[in-house]
Amino acid sequence: MPYQSYAERARRTSCLIWTAAIFCAIIATAVIIAGLVILVIYLIYQPKSPYLKMGNAQLIHLYYDQAGTLDTELQITIMAENDNTKTDAAFYSLSLDLLFQSVTIAELQAADFVVPKNSSVPLGYDVQSTPVPLDPVGMSAMDSALKNRQIPFYLTGRARTRWRLGSLYSVGIWAHLSCKMTFFWPNGSVASMQCSNKR
């Protein structure tokens, strides 16, 4: 076996090291460039998450009998908001549950839609429930609510939103909405509305 000097072995090892170093440098440069491109797009578009918020609500009809059967009609307006000034936002998979106590009265849905940039779209619902039997806890809560002439309902759910930053990629995020709505009865106007929206 021919004798290899230390210098020859060092040169062969150095070649492998240099190859790996060049490869790593190329990867690092590509990552830096991609990061700069994303930063520039972010600074140009300054994206804001679209969200849902409560608009108006009215309790139109309320029927409740001693057997614990509840039948209601409400008019509810949900606002889909897009505060982005440079891009439209799409909303899809919207699903909201209307509840009394823990009993689901109705489910509110919407087909996919787009909110133009720096704008909002109202979603109006005329919610007519089918007769719903309440459990003893729900019956007690309704009896107390009628006695106080203030009827509480809960609206909770979410929608998927998506918008583009330039032409490079799109962003998808869930928009959550949770509201407690209390109505004067028998006139059906809103006594209070406590809502939170998360993105």
* Amino acid 39: pLDDT: 63
Question: Any idea where the domains of the chain sit in the sequence?
Answer: 1-45, 51-198
**pTM beyond cutoff 0.85:** no
* Amino acid 2: pLDDT: 53
Instruction: State which fold the 51-198 domain adopts.
Output: Immunoglobulin-like (2.60.40)
- The mean pLDDT of 48-76, rounded to a whole number, is 94
- The mean pLDDT of 164-189, rounded to a whole number, is 85
Please check whether residue 89 is in contact with residue 82, taking contact to mean a CB–CB distance below 8 angstroms: yes
- Who wins on pLDDT, 54 or 25? 54
Q: State the average pLDDT for the chain.
A: 86
Residue 131 DSSP class: P
* Amino acid 3: pLDDT: 53
Contacts (Cβ under 8 Å, ≥6 apart) of 72: 59, 61, 62, 63, 100, 105, 127, 128, 129, 153
In the structure, what pLDDT confidence band is assigned to residue 124 with cuts at 50, 70 and 90? very high
